[in-house]
Amino acid sequence: MNEKNQEKKNTLESFYNEVNVLVSKSNNAASALNIFEKVSYKDRSRPEVMYSRAMLQYRKGDKAKMEKILRSFGKEKTRPRSSSKCAGLQHGGRE
């Protein structure tokens, strides 16, 4: 991958991680998920988007949807980098 494409990829990854952090501060998990899905709809197959959606589904209480999203990672060649920002969702979105 050339340097410009790598920079774009890193920028998108950072963007979605920041969006995830912001929406996770909401006390309303369904609203947080709705906002994140609207912002990320064009990039649903990106690993960091899939992971964030899964954790937001978990926070919302829909473990079946979370599991479905996470299981689809087995079909992907890459996995998201586990960051403390994303992992914080497992504990109510608080870091």
Tokens matching residue 61: 């209480």
The string of pLDDT tens digits covering residues 12-70 is 999 999 999 999 999 999 999 999 999 999 999 999 999 999 999 999 999 999 999 99
Whether the pTM exceeds 0.75: the reply is: no
Q: Per-residue pLDDT for 78 more than 90?
A: no
Helix (H) or strand (E) holding 75: none
